[in-house]
Structure 1
Amino acid sequence: MEGRTVVITGASSGIGRAAATELALLGAEVAVVGRNRERTEAVAAATGGRAFLVDYDRLDSVRELAAALLDAFPAIHVLANNAGGMAERAETPDGHDLTFQRNHLAPFLLTTLLLDRLRETAASAPEGSVRIVQTSSAASLSGRVRLDDLENRRGRWLGGWGAYGAGKLENVLLTRELARRLAGAGVSAYAFHPGFVATRFGGDGPLISALQRAFALSPEQGAQPLVRLAAAARVPAPSGNYFDRLRAPGRTARQAGDADLARGLWEASERLVSAR
């Protein structure tokens, strides 16, 4: 990874921190992106990377992050959209469902703002080395995406799992649409399920803690798909693929193969991030 720049969101803890650590050891220059200043700066210091702060609850903060990254790095080889998670039922200052914005809309905006830099990097980088990697989840299997209800305002809330599953499915759809739009540009896109990982995502209740002790992967193990998709000289699957840990193609919801839905999601997301 010598001479390559990797941007990792959600890099202040869990999978993101583990991936930042390993990619830095492989020689990458890592942009450590997080919400918590203390944790983000600590990871940057430990990895020799650079810290960037962002609040995905505010799209203006995402725009500020993109501007800072473009100013800092003349080339970006890997964008790892790793931030996300389940949230309470709430509305962001931008007027969007919190889970939808954190898992899809904010990373969509960051990706589109960095696309030209990724294309420029690909023009002079080794073939196939410029990539967009999305941390999705097996929760996408139970997700349902409705273009007429992207904000999750209809139906039962189910403790947030419906909205979260939809967001993770949107990660897969975005990956498929990126592959279509970037064909021939030298930039590939992949999504992956990290497995059941012991992170802060599930909270710290006694049941979650017991399940994690018994069954969960470590953050370092969960980060392996991200590390390999970022660092491998060649990814053993075409652009647009979804990996179940290290295996592709992974099992996906039926909607994941709907090219019209993927295109419609992109177009709707463009309208939502540009509406002020």
Structure 2
Amino acid sequence: MTSLLSAAPPSSQPDAPSDASWLSQSLGLILDLDGTLIRGDEVLPGAKELLHYWEGRYIVVSNNSTHTAQTLAPQLQALGLPVPPANLVLAGEQAIHHIACRYPHNPLMLCASQALRALAMELGLTLVERNADIVLLTRDRHFSYDTLQQVIRELSQGTTLLVSNADLTHPGPQGLLTPETGALLQAVLACIPGAQAEILGKPQSMLFREGLQRLGLHNEHVTVIGDNAATDALGAVSLGLGYLLVGPSSQADAPDVGALMLRNIPVRRHLHEVSQG
């Protein structure tokens, strides 16, 4: 795959970053989306400036399991964030591609948005309501009691359960929390406590590896910036990537990416640093 590093580096640089600064240590970034660049329809401070400064040298890796890159990119662009589809690695979309690659002929029960259902059909997957070999659970905003009953029925028959991500919530507008795929998974597990679920999104490696491939960089040259220690930091450390955290948590290195760009601090590489705040 063509590396994003073919783009020329930006002409303007932050004031004299030291050799130990994350700005000088990093050749490319893997960025979280919700809570890092946006919060619902709100663009967070510094997001536009960060994307401009790192143009051609970043990938957004998100546990978003509602959109595809083609449907999300126009929404981000309307907010003033010019993120092309090729720079978006999304958990739901990658889960569909994962199934199409590994289980192309297996009947699939898909709990998902219309965008992801359309992608699954475009890739030739067989979508069914019963007698499935695989159930894929994503952030289905129309998930209902009847859907829960259908999923339980399939899993009781030994069907494999794949889950786009295990996040219970993600940051929404005005500080409100938005229910995520993990909340739906908890409903399933409450009914079938012994059910085994394979989680595909962060902190697992699948999305990060796709991001690294698109950047065309070695792990030690890439920094992950996110707001969640349990997904962004853990996933980074598991692959030998440096990381930094933003947001209101005491674990964060800065309140937002705008403030982070002004801080000449080294990347973090150990989880014990997270637990110590």
After TM superposition, the score normalised by the length of structure 2 is: 0.38
After TM superposition, the score normalised by the length of structure 1 is: 0.38
Q: Which has the higher contact order (CA 8 A, sep 6+)?
A: 2
Higher relative helix content: 1
Higher relative strand content: 2
